[in-house]
Structure 1
Amino acid sequence: MHETKEKHDFEPKIVAFVCTWCTYAGADLAGTSRLHYPSNVRVLKFPCTGRIDPVFILRAFQRGADGVLVSGCHPGDCHYMAGNLHARRRFAAFRGLLDFVGVDLNRLQFSWVSAAEGGKWVEVVTDLTERIRAMGPMEEFKALETEECWSGELNSPELQEAYNNI
């Protein structure tokens, strides 16, 4: 990964959930071709975009990501037949949930990048980084991490009352 020379006041953290066969290979092609692009993206490789659970996206935002990219094979070219079509349907419905919980949908991008499209990977990553940089840090959703209590303890009167009424 090659970083651009420019430095900014805010460097966004972007998580990319990518397909092994196409997008990851396209990103690798960009790197081996020595194409320059921002190094803000942290790539998580999956066998197929159809295997990416929407909860992973929520957790990425909750854990500090300012933007998320989901990218895989072009429709019709999935190595698992229809995994990317399944992912496209799943994430179309998921966008409503993100909007409901307060995630600006401009912070999430879906794209199709094949193994031969190293230049397109650079374009997608650069455009997303610039868009998120202009939006600034995502503070709203991160606050949920500190408010969330997964310990199982009933530490509020409301939760204790609900528990007692079961």
Structure 2
Amino acid sequence: MGLEPRVLAFTCTYCAYAAAEAAGVSKLQYPPHIYVIRLPCSGMFKSYYVFKALREGFDSILWSGCHPPYDCHFINGNYKARVKAQLLKAYLKQLGFEDQRFRLEWISAGEPDKFARIAKEMVEEAIKTPKIIFLEHHEAVDK
């Protein structure tokens, strides 16, 4: 696990991913420490993705989708995303994770500047936030 911040962005195909691509094509400046994964829809995001990402060394997770109420190509995926995100954020807080480790944002295809700004903000926050260190079960028992 390196010292560079790592932010994982889950983006819906039609809006947030298109904005991320447009940000790159437009040569908008944002840190290279953000890794983008395309989902068909933000409503198809699974909560365990967050835990897997944190376990794999990512400092924070961006979950982004189409603007409510009418931008979702799957009709109500953004509503599903909002409900899942509220529950997940509460659960992460109970587990002791900082709020800035997880963020839900609505980003349309026409907002590459917003994607770049949010990516920059999340990387800056990740730099300030302490790294997570997971102990393997046998390490914790042996010490």
Q: Output the TM-score relative to the length of structure 1.
A: 0.77
Task: Quote the offset at 1:10 in angstroms.
Answer: 4.2
The 1-side partners of 2:53 and 2:3 are apart by 18
What is aligned with 2:39? 46
The 5 A counterparts of 1:70-109 are: 70-76=63-69, 77-109=71-103
The 2-side partners of 1:17 and 1:86 are apart by 15
What is aligned with 1:24? 17
What is aligned with 1:164? none
Task: Quote the offset at 1:125 in angstroms.
Answer: 0.2
Q: Which moved more, 1:110-119 or 1:130-139?
A: 130-139
User: Which of the two has higher C-alpha Rg?
Assistant: 1
The 5 A counterparts of 1:56-135 are: 56-76=49-69, 77-135=71-129
Query: RMSD of aligned C-alpha atoms?
Result: 1.8
Q: Which runs of 4+ in 1 moved over 4 A?
A: none
Q: Output the TM-score relative to the length of structure 2.
A: 0.89
Aligned residues: 137
Unpaired segments ≥5 residues, structure 2: none
Cα–Cα, structure 1 residues 12 and 124, in superposed 2: closer, same or farther, change >3 Å? Answer: same
